[in-house]
Amino acid sequence: MKTINLNLNINTKPKCLIDITYEISQQVENSKVQNGLCSLFIQHTSASLIIQENADPSVLRDIESFFKRLVTEDENLYEHNSEGPDDMPAHIRSLLTNTSLSIPIINSKLELGTWQGLYLYEHRNRGYSRKVIVNIMGE
């Protein structure tokens, strides 16, 4: 079995969903793994990874609108706010989404659904450099 570990640094913008599908797909294709598994892990507690629709951009806008209503930025609600009013809400958003994903590889391609894409979801009010570990295993 072949195992490949990669580190990707992705620069984000404030509170946005960044489509990383193409970049991850290219890494899988370059790995020459025919069948296996691609695992992604983000090394942060205020950003996350999600699989979501990639056809209609309004879906991504609606997701952010929903999270704004669900997890408000009110410093009076949280004890932990050492990095500002978006600090604890960013941790809660990360808790409600994913810090890791696993996608099957079949015939050297990510086996995503027709309308599925991979996204890094930045939860803070400014951009950061986020580190994602990509682990590709298979034969």
Predicted local distance difference test score (pLDDT) of residue 81: 86
Residue 53 has pLDDT above 90, yes or no: yes
Tell me the β-bridge partners of 132: 8, 42
What's the rounded Cα separation, in Å, for the pair 113 and 97? 19
* pTM of the model as a whole: 0.96
Which class for 110: exposed (0-12), middle (13-18), buried (19 or more C-beta within 10 A)?
middle
Predicted local distance difference test score (pLDDT) of residue 40: 98
Residue 75 has pLDDT above 90, yes or no: no
State the average pLDDT over residues 24-44.
98
Domains and CATH numbers, the chain: 2-138 (2.60.120.460)
State the average pLDDT over residues 46-72.
97
State the average pLDDT over residues 11-16.
97
Question: How many CA atoms within 13 Å lie on the side-chain side of 40?
Answer: 29
Strand, helix or coil for residue 43? coil
Q: Rounded to 10 degrees, what is the CA torsion of 50, 55, 56, 62?
A: -10
What's the rounded Cα separation, in Å, for the pair 123 and 121? 6
Residue 82 has pLDDT above 90, yes or no: no
